[in-house]
Structure 1
Amino acid sequence: MWLKHRGIFLREFIRLEGRCGQASAQSCLECNRPSPEYRCEDCLGSELYCTTCILSAHVRHPLHRLQRWNGQYFEQTSLKTLGLRIQLGHTTGQKCLNPQRAFNDDFVVVDTRGIHEVALDFCNCATAESHMQQLLRISWFPSTTSDPKTAATFSVLEQYHLLSFESKISTYEFYHALRRMSDNTGLLPVKDRYESFLRMIREWRHLKMLKRSGRGHEASGIDGTAEGECAILCPACPHPGKNLPADWKDAPRQWLYGLFLAIDANFRLKRKAVSNDNVDPSLSRGWGYFVEEDAYKGFLHDSADSIQEKSMCSSHAAVNMADTKSNRGLAVTGLGTIDCARHNMKRPNAVGDLQKGERYINMDYLFFSTLRHTVLDTLNVSYDIACQWHKRLWHRMSAFPFSMHLSHTVKTVSFFVPKFHLPAHIEQCQTSFSFNFKSGVGRTDGEAPERGWANINPVASSTKEMGPGARRDTLDDYFGDSNWKKLVGLGSTMLRKMKDALPERENHREAFEDLDDGLRGEYGATLEQWREQVEAWERDAAQPNPFERKAESITMASVRLELAREDQIDLQTGTYLALHEDCTPSVLISTGLELEEQQRRMKADRAGLGVHATDNQEGKMLQRSNTLRRRIDAWGKMQELYMPFLAALRASEASVSNNVAAAPEAIKLWLPSHISRTSPCDTRLQAIEWKLRYGQAHDALRSLRSNLRALTAILKYKDRHLRGQGANTRARNTLKAVEARIEAAASTYEHARKSLVVLAPRVNQTQSGWHSSLRPLDRADIRSMTDILWGESEGTRKLSWIWSMRGAAPNEMDNDNTLEDMRIEWCKARARAMRWAEEVELLKEEMRRILQFFEWDAQRWDERGLGNALQLDDADQHEGQMAYAKRQAVLRRMLAESFKTSWADTLALVDTFEDMDLST
C-alpha cells in the first residue's frame, strides 16, 4: 500500500527544503517587519520570522537550532549568532545588574539536539551563587567545579543513561552521534568535549545512585554511607526487620525463611591493564555491589601463596585450570558475583574482579562479604563447583577477617549444584547436590546468574578499555538498573510462577499418590522403609542416599570372570569339555565378540577415509586389514573344532561368491546367534554367547552414558571459555571424537540386543525380564540428561530410559529385598510432588514479603521526608527533600497495590485448593 504513495512522501520531504508557501510573504507573521528569513528546526511548524521575533520566542529555548534563508536555500545559523545571551542567576528575562561574560562567549552545551556554542552570562551580584550552582539550577550539569566552560543538559544525560541500559550504547558512540546531529558534513567546526562528557556521565551515574538510596536525606551525609548501603535489595528475599514476622526465628517451618544464594563467574567482563586505582579511583568505596577494593586486594595479596585444591569431580575445569588461565595484557580476567538464586538480583558487596581464573580465594571473599548483610539461619548455596568448593570452606574461612566469619555450626547451610550444570558431574554429585531431591528448596534451579549475564555481556567491549574505578562505577550502575527492573517486574514474574506452579503441584501430587497406592498393596511395609530412609537422609545428609544407584555389576569383564570360574569348576569336577587346550568355549565366543567389534571399527574407519586418502593412511589401513584377516582365520579354525558343520557352510558360501576373498570386516563370523535355529549348535555355546551379549549390552550403555556426559561437559566449557577460530576448531575435533564414540556404543548395543533377541528363546530367557532393562534404542533415546524433546519443559520432561534402566536383572534385589529401580523411582516421584508443593508455599511467602518490604521502604521514605534527619536553613532545599521523599513513598505503595491487585484472584485460588486439601 505504501509503495503506491511513496512519491508523495518524497515530494513532501523535498518541499520542506523550501519556504513552504511563504515565498511571497513580505513581512514577519508576528510583527509585520519586512524580510522574514529565520525558522526553527525544533519548534512546531516551518513559519519564517524576523530576527527580533525569533530571538524573543527563544528566550526559554536557547538550545534550539535555527535556519536562515539566504535567498537560494536554508543554511545553518544559531541564536548565539543573532545575539541571544543566556543570563544565569536570575529569573528568565530579568536583567542582571552585574553580569559576567563567560570566557569570550565560547561556552559549550551538550544537549539531546547536538552540541551548541552559546553566549552565556553568569550573575556576579554580591548574593550570587557559584558558577557551578548557577548552571545546576537551570538543569545544566557543569563539566568541572572550577570555572566550567562546558555543560550537559540533564535531559541529554538522562537520555544517555537510559539508552546505555537498554541498548548498551557506548559513550563514544552516543557522543559522536550528537556531533553528527550538530554537523554531518565535517565543514563546520564542532568543539570536541568527549572527555568532558565522559566525566559528566560518570558523575551523573554516581549522583543518581546516592539520590535514589536516600543519602541526600541522611544527617551523616555522603561520607557516612556504609558498605552496600546503595544497593537495591531484593524485596522477595527474607530481610529480618524489614519483611519477616517478628517471631520468624521460632517458626516451625524455617525453610520458608531461607536465603538462596547463587555463585558464578563471568570471563567476558575483562579489563585491560590500563591505568590504576591511584589515577582512576572509584567514586564509591564499596557502597553498592562491588566489594571495597582496598580491603579486597589487600586480602588477595596476603593470600597470594594459597594453593588451589584440585577437583575430585569430572567436570571442574573452573577449579583445575584456575591457576593456568591466561591473563596476558589483562588486569582483570573476569568478574565473580553472588546473586539471590530465586530472583536473580545482585546482592550488596557481592561482586569482585578476578585476577587469574575462578580461584577459591576470590569467590570465598565475595561469599563471606555479602553474608555480613544478613543474620538468617538457613542458607541454600548454589555453585557449579559446590561439590568441591564446600569441602574446606570453613577451614579457609579462618584466614578471613573476623568480621567475615560465619557461625556455621548454629546455621543450616546446604550446598547445591545448579540444575543445568549437574549432569556434567559424577553420579554421586548428581544425587547429593541436586535441588530436585533436597527438601525446603521448591523448584529453585540455581541458574540465576547465567540468565543475568546475557544482559550485561554487551557492555564488555566498552568496559574492558576503562580504568579500574570507572569500570567498577559503571558496572555498579548497570547492576543497580538490572535490580530495579527486576524489582518493578516482580508483580508479573511472581504471578507467572504461581500460575505455573499450582497445576504442576496438583499433577505431581496425583502422580505420586497413584504410584504409592499401586505399590502399597504388594510392598506396603517396604514403602514405609523407603520413606524412613529418605526422611533420614533429608534430615542428615551423612545417612545413605536413597537416590543413589548401587554400582552396576554387569560388565563384559565380570561375565568373563564368571565364565572362567565355571571353566575352573568343570576342570575340578572332570566335566571340562574343551576341544583345544588353549581355547575353552567361553574363550572362543569371547574372542568372536572382540573380532566382531574390530570389524565394526574397521568398517567405520574405512568409511571415514574418504576418496582422497593419503598413501600413509592407505598403508596403515591395509596393515590393520591383514592383521584382522589373520586373526579371523586362526579363530575360524578353532571355531570349527566346536562347530564342525561350519566348514561345509563356509565352503558353500565361498562357491557362491566364486572364491573372491571378502574384506576382513565383511567376513561372516557365524557366532551362535548368526546360525539358523534349524542348524545344529551346542546349547552351551549359545548360553555363553547370551551371557556375554548381556554384559556387552550393559557395557555399551555405560559407554553411551559416559560419552554423553563428556559431550555435555565439553559443550558447556566450549561455550563458556573458548573464543576464536583456532580454539573452537580444536574443540570441534574433540567433539567429533566423542560423537564417534557415542555412535560406536549405540551400534554395539543394537547388535548385542539383536543377538539377545535371537538367543533368548534358545536358552530359556524369554521370561527372565531382561527386556525391561535392555529396551530398543531409538535415536531419540540417545540424549543427555539435560536434553529436552520437543514439547517438553524442565518441570515436565522425562529422562531417556538409558539413564534410569536397571543395572541388574529383575531378580537381583537390594538390601531391603526390593528392586532398586522401583525404590529410586518412588523416591523421585515423592521428591517431585514435594518440590512443587514447596514451590507454591515459597511463592506465597515471597509475595507476602514483597508487599511488606514495600510498606517498610515507604515508611522509611516517609521518615526521611519529615525533615528530622536534616535541619536545613534553605527552605527550597527542604521542600525538595520532602517532595522527593514523598514521591518515593507513594511509588512504593503504588507498586504494592498494583501487585496485590494482580495477585488477588490467583492467591484466592491457592487458598481454595488448600481448603479442599484440609477437608479431605
Structure 2
Amino acid sequence: MMMLRLRLPRGKDSRPWLPECPTFLDEMIRLEGRGEYIEDSLCGHCQKSARTIRCTDCFLPELCCPPCAVERHRHLPLHRLQRWNGHYFERISLKTLGLCIQLGHRMDDTCCNPQRAFNDDFVIIDTNGIHEVGLDFCACGAMQTHVKQLLQARLFPATITDLKTAATFNVLEQYHKLLFESKASAFEFYLSLALADHQLLKHFARGHCPDGVGTTEPGQCAVLCPACPQPGKNIPEDWKDAPPDKRWLYALFVGIDANFRLKRKFVSSDSIDPGISKGWSYFVDERAYKGYLDDHKDRNQERSTCASHNAINMADTKNARGLAATGVGTVDCARHNMKLRNAVGDLQKGEKYINMDYLFFSAMSHNEVTVLNVSYDIACQWSKHLRSRMMTLPSRFHLDFSSKAITFLVPKFHLPAHIEQCQIDFSFNLSRYVGRTDGEAPERGWANINPIASSTKEMGPGSRRDTLDDHFGDWNWKCCIRLGRLLARKLVDAIEQKAEHQRELIELESCLKAQDISQWRIEVEAWEQDHSQTNPFQVRVAPETQSAVRLELARIEAAELESGTNISLHADVSPSILISSGIDLEDQQRCLSLEIAALGVHATDHQLAKAQQHTNSLRRKIESWQDIQLLYMPFVSLLRASEEPCSPASSTPVEAFQLWLPSAVGPDTQCAIQLHTLEWKLRYAQANDTLKDIRNLLCLRSHLYKFMDSHIVGQAANTRARSTISKADAKVNMAAERYEVARAALANLARILNEDRTWMEVFKPLNRSKDLKALKDMWGKETEGTWHLSWIWKTPEVSENATLHIEWCKARVRAMRWEEEVDLLKEEQWWVIAFLDWQGGWWQSQRERRDSESLDDTLREGLVAYAERQASLRRQLSTHFQILWSPPTLPTPPAGTTT
C-alpha cells in the first residue's frame, strides 16, 4: 500500500503541493478507464477489431485490439498488458493473447522445427515483474542446447535441468546493485517484483468522495483487519444481545508495545515538512498528540511495584540527546498482527504512560466492541489507575468502562520476568475466553519494519510518518492476503490439539478421586469469576524451611533462658547455632570447591588471588567454629587427631575438612542426644529447602533453553546464552549435592534417634539423570505423551497442592484454551468472508458517488472502473478463502451473519 509522496530537498516547504492532491488523485483515477479512447471503438491500426488492450509499460499507451497488441510486442514480450472487460481493466498476459517467444533464431527468421517449452509452463523474471510466457526452443538442424539458447537471449536459467524459470540479465544486474546498497535478500527482491503498488487516497476511495480529500476522517485510510469483529461490517447486528457464553467471541484482542529502533533525529520541522497524511492512517494526528503531551509533560511517572521494568522505571532517564523521537508506540491487533487505526505515535523519552494512554484510547475510539482483551508487557502496572488517567484525555477518547469488560494480560514470553503473583493474574494461559492468543503480535511486526529504521531516522517528521504509514499499510494488506492459508492451518492444528488435550485431561482425571475433582472445579471456577478468591494455581502450604526452623529454635532458647533451664556452654553460641553454623560451613566448602575447580590451568593472577582470599577466610571461620565445637563435643579432638596427615606437606585442603557434625560421629560416641535432635530438625529443613531450590533452578534452566531456542541468533549471542545455561547447570548440580549430603545425614540420624521410615517417603534417593528435569509447565510448546513426572515434584508438601491439584488445573485450562481457539478460529473465518463481502458491496456503492455534471466522461468511467476492480478483488478473495476453508474446515455461519 504505497502513498505517492514527492520528496523535496531539505529545507524546502512542501505545503504548496498539498492543495494539488485532488488534481493528482483525479488524474490517477482517470487512468483506470479508457481515457480519450472511450468513444473510439475500433483499433487505430487495423480498423477492424475493438480497442480492448493497453500496455502499462509503453510510454503513453494507446488502446488497440488483441492481434495488434501481439504484433506490436513481438520485440517487447515482457511488457505487462491489461484488457478492458467492459467494466474495468484486468491483467492479461501476452502468452494468453497468443505471443510465443522463439529462441535460437533471429527475430526475423522462422524456425523449421520449434519445440514448445514444457507445455507452455515457463516463467521469466524481469525488472517489471514475473511473467508466464509462451516459449519455443529451436529444434532444427542448427539446434543448440536449451541452456545456450536461453543465455543467448540474455536469459539466465534457474537450473540447468528441468528448465521452467529464467531471469533476465537486467533483473540480475539490478538485484546485484540493490544487494550492495540495501542488503536485501533474493527472496525479498523476488517478492517486491510480485507485488503491485496502490496509492493511499486512491485506494481508500477518497477520489470518489464528492466533498474532496479535505474531508478525510482520522483513520479512514487504514487497512482494517477482516478477522477482527467490526460492528456493522462482519458480525451479526444483534451481537450485543449474545448470551454470556457467546459474548466473549466478539472480543477485540489488542497488543501494546514500543519500538526504540524507530528513532528520528532533530531534522526539519512540522512547519516545513508537515506530511500529506494528517492522522488518516496509523499515526495519530500530530498536532493534537503533541498538544496533549505538552499539557501533561510534568506528570510524574508511576514506579513499578512488580519486577524492575526498565520501560517504567527508566522512562524519565532514557537518553534522548539529539533525537526528536526515541521510538514509536503502537497498538496492534493481537491475534492477526495488524496495526490499528490511529494507534501509532512517537515517543519522546522512554515508554511513558501519557504516550501509551493516548495511543490506546485513540485506537479504541474506532471500535465499539464491549469486550476487550488488552495485552501489554507491563499491563500489571499500566492498568492501575487507567480509568482516572483517561479523564485527562480529550472527551472523544473516553470509554464507558461500565459497559465494557476489559481483561489486562501480559504476553506469554514476557510473563516469566514478572513476579509470581503477576504470572498467575495476568496469564493468557490461565485466563478464560482468550484461546491460544499469546499477545506477542507487536514483536513480530517490528521484524518487518526495523530494516527501514536507518533511513527514516534521517527524515523530516512528515516524510517519516508518511513512509512508516506506507509500510504499516503494506504489512496490513499482506496480512489480509495471508489470512486464507493462515486461518486454515491454525484451525486444523487447533482441532487436533483440542482432541489431544481433552484426552490428556480425561486420562489424568481417571487417576484422581471424583470428590477431589469436584472440589477443585468449584475452587478454580470461583477464582476465574473473581480473582480475589483463593488462587488454585498457587501453592498454599509452604514446606518447613531452615529459616523457620532456626527461628523456632531461637524462640525455644529464649524461653529456656527466661526460665533458667538453658544449658548453653558458650555465651554467644548455643547448641542450635553451633549445628546450623556447621551446616552453613559445609555449603561454603562446596562453593569453594566449585570455584577452585573452575579456575583451570590458565587462571589469571586475579582469579588465583580471589580464590586464595576465599580459602583463607573460610579457614579462619572453620578454626573458630571448631574451637567452640570442642565445648559441646570434646571427643571430636580424638577424631581430628586420627585424620591428621603424617606430614605438613600433605595437609588437607580447607574445602575438604571433616567438620564432624553429630550425624557423622555415629551412635557410639558421647554426643548429647540434644545435638542429634537439633541436627535432625535442621537437616530435614535443609532437604526441604534444597528440593525447592532444585525445582526453581530446573524451571529457570527450562526457560533459558526455550529462550535460546526461540530468540538467540548468532555465534556471540549463543556463546553467552550457553555460558548462562552452564552456570544454571552448575547450580543445579551443587543443589543436588547439598540434598544428597542432607539425606545421608538424615539416614544416620534416623538410626540414632529411632525415627520411623516416613521421612524416606518424602526424601527419596536422587537419580541425577532421571530426576533433575523440570515440571512440564504451562508455557510448553508441545505435548509429550511419554512424559513422567519426577518424584521431586511429588513430595507431600508439594503434591497436595502443586502436583495433583495444580497439574489438574493446568491440564483443564490447556484443554479449555484449545477449545476456545477452535471456536474463535471458526468465527474469524466467517468474519473474514463477511467483511470481504461487505467491502465488495461498499466499493460497488462508490461507483457513482461522485456523479455530477461537472465530471467529464473519461473521469467518470475511471471512477466506475476503479470501484468495480476493487469490488471484484474482494469478491475473488472471498471465493478463494471459501475454497481454502471448504468443509469440513469451514464451520456453519453464526446466526444473524450475512455472507
Structure 1 length as normaliser, TM-score? 0.69
Residues 676 and 593 of structure 1: CA distance in aligned 2, closer, same or farther (over 3 Å): same
Please tell me whether the aligned partners of residues 693 and 752 of structure 1 are also in contact (alpha carbons under 8 angstroms).
no
Residues 180 and 735 of structure 1: CA distance in aligned 2, closer, same or farther (over 3 Å): closer
Match of 2:232 among 238, 241, 244: 241
Match of 2:625 among 632, 635, 640: 635
Residues 529 and 290 of structure 1: CA distance in aligned 2, closer, same or farther (over 3 Å): same
Amino acid in structure 2 at the alignment position of 1:215: R
Amino acid in structure 2 at the alignment position of 1:516: E
Of stretches 752-761 and 405-414 in structure 1, the one that deviates more from structure 2 is 752-761
Match of 2:215 among 209, 224, 228: 224
Query: Any gaps of 5 or more consecutive residues in structure 1?
Result: 1-59, 65-85, 93-110, 114-154, 161-176, 185-200, 912-920
Please tell me whether the aligned partners of residues 259 and 327 of structure 2 are also in contact (alpha carbons under 8 angstroms).
yes
Match of 1:823 in 2: 805
Match of 1:857 in 2: 839
Give the 5 Å matches for 1:42-441: 208-252=199-243, 253-441=246-434
Q: Give how far 1:625 is off.
A: 2.8
Q: How many residues align?
A: 722
Residues 443 and 245 of structure 1: CA distance in aligned 2, closer, same or farther (over 3 Å): same
Residues 90 and 736 of structure 1: CA distance in aligned 2, closer, same or farther (over 3 Å): closer
Match of 2:473 in 1: 480
Distance 2:873 2:473 in 1: 18
Residues 604 and 897 of structure 1: CA distance in aligned 2, closer, same or farther (over 3 Å): same
Q: Give how far 1:459 is off.
A: 1.0
Q: Give how far 1:414 is off.
A: 0.5
What secondary structure sits across from 1:339 in the alignment? strand
Match of 1:603 among 593, 612, 625: 593
Q: Give how far 1:419 is off.
A: 0.5
Give the 5 Å matches for 1:14-33: none
Please tell me whether the aligned partners of residues 266 and 335 of structure 1 are also in contact (alpha carbons under 8 angstroms).
yes
Match of 1:105 in 2: none
Distance 1:797 1:451 in 2: 30
Q: Give how far 1:866 is off.
A: 4.5
Residues 385 and 688 of structure 1: CA distance in aligned 2, closer, same or farther (over 3 Å): same
CA displacement 1:685-735 (0-9 Å, x = unmatched): 45533432343344456666778899999999999999999xx99x99999
Match of 1:669 in 2: 659
Match of 2:548 among 546, 553, 558: 558
Give the 5 Å matches for 1:885-896: 885-896=867-878
Residues 632 and 243 of structure 1: CA distance in aligned 2, closer, same or farther (over 3 Å): same
Match of 2:21 in 1: none
Of stretches 503-512 and 367-376 in structure 1, the one that deviates more from structure 2 is 503-512
Please tell me whether the aligned partners of residues 687 and 743 of structure 2 are also in contact (alpha carbons under 8 angstroms).
no
CA displacement 1:883-915 (0-9 Å, x = unmatched): 22222222212211221122223436x78xxxx
CA displacement 1:376-396 (0-9 Å, x = unmatched): 110000000000000011111
Residues 629 and 799 of structure 1: CA distance in aligned 2, closer, same or farther (over 3 Å): farther
Q: Give how far 1:754 is off.
A: 3.9
Match of 2:796 among 806, 810, 829: 810
Q: Give how far 1:745 is off.
A: 6.2
Please tell me whether the aligned partners of residues 209 and 850 of structure 2 are also in contact (alpha carbons under 8 angstroms).
no
Match of 2:134 in 1: none
What secondary structure sits across from 1:309 in the alignment? coil
Distance 2:427 2:875 in 1: 38
Residues 61 and 883 of structure 1: CA distance in aligned 2, closer, same or farther (over 3 Å): closer
Question: Is 1:518 aligned to 2:511, yes or no?
Answer: yes
Question: Is 1:448 aligned to 2:441, yes or no?
Answer: yes
Please tell me whether the aligned partners of residues 697 and 774 of structure 1 are also in contact (alpha carbons under 8 angstroms).
no
Match of 1:743 in 2: 730
Q: Give how far 1:328 is off.
A: 1.4
Please tell me whether the aligned partners of residues 424 and 709 of structure 1 are also in contact (alpha carbons under 8 angstroms).
no
Question: Is 1:531 aligned to 2:527, yes or no?
Answer: no
What secondary structure sits across from 1:262 in the alignment? strand
Please tell me whether the aligned partners of residues 663 and 749 of structure 2 are also in contact (alpha carbons under 8 angstroms).
no
- Percent pairwise identity: 47
What secondary structure sits across from 1:531 in the alignment? helix
Question: Is 1:848 aligned to 2:822, yes or no?
Answer: no
Residues 560 and 793 of structure 1: CA distance in aligned 2, closer, same or farther (over 3 Å): same
What secondary structure sits across from 1:437 in the alignment? coil
Q: Give how far 1:836 is off.
A: 1.0
Match of 1:499 among 488, 492, 497: 492
Question: Is 1:540 aligned to 2:530, yes or no?
Answer: yes
Distance 1:762 1:650 in 2: 21
Q: Give how far 1:241 is off.
A: 0.5
Please tell me whether the aligned partners of residues 331 and 343 of structure 2 are also in contact (alpha carbons under 8 angstroms).
yes
Question: Is 1:793 aligned to 2:781, yes or no?
Answer: yes
Match of 1:464 among 422, 434, 457: 457
Amino acid in structure 1 at the alignment position of 2:237: A
Of stretches 760-769 and 626-635 in structure 1, the one that deviates more from structure 2 is 760-769
Please tell me whether the aligned partners of residues 690 and 738 of structure 2 are also in contact (alpha carbons under 8 angstroms).
no
Distance 1:183 1:633 in 2: 74
Q: Give how far 1:452 is off.
A: 1.3
Residues 686 and 870 of structure 1: CA distance in aligned 2, closer, same or farther (over 3 Å): farther
Distance 2:225 2:530 in 1: 31
Match of 2:855 in 1: 873
Q: Give how far 1:630 is off.
A: 3.0
What secondary structure sits across from 1:352 in the alignment? strand
Q: Give how far 1:822 is off.
A: 3.0
Question: Is 1:756 aligned to 2:740, yes or no?
Answer: no
Distance 1:310 1:710 in 2: 27
Residues 401 and 182 of structure 1: CA distance in aligned 2, closer, same or farther (over 3 Å): closer
Distance 2:254 2:664 in 1: 59
CA displacement 1:276-313 (0-9 Å, x = unmatched): 11111111111111111111111111111111111001
Of stretches 425-434 and 852-861 in structure 1, the one that deviates more from structure 2 is 852-861
Amino acid in structure 2 at the alignment position of 1:529: Q
Of stretches 210-219 and 579-588 in structure 1, the one that deviates more from structure 2 is 579-588
CA displacement 1:48-78 (0-9 Å, x = unmatched): xxxxxxxxxxxx99999xxxxxxxxxxxxxx
What secondary structure sits across from 1:865 in the alignment? coil
Distance 1:617 1:418 in 2: 41
Distance 1:678 1:358 in 2: 69
Higher relative contact order, structure no. (Cα contacts within 8 Å, ≥ 6 residues apart): 2
Q: Give how far 1:606 is off.
A: 3.6
RMSD of the alignment, in Å?
4.6
Of stretches 889-898 and 312-321 in structure 1, the one that deviates more from structure 2 is 889-898
Amino acid in structure 2 at the alignment position of 1:268: R
Q: Give how far 1:823 is off.
A: 2.6
What secondary structure sits across from 2:319 in the alignment? coil
Please tell me whether the aligned partners of residues 230 and 287 of structure 1 are also in contact (alpha carbons under 8 angstroms).
yes
Amino acid in structure 2 at the alignment position of 1:372: S
CA displacement 1:784-826 (0-9 Å, x = unmatched): 99898xxx625769999899947xx62699xxxx645433222
What secondary structure sits across from 1:435 in the alignment? coil
Query: Any gaps of 5 or more consecutive residues in structure 2?
Result: 1-53, 65-75, 79-124, 131-169, 178-191, 893-899
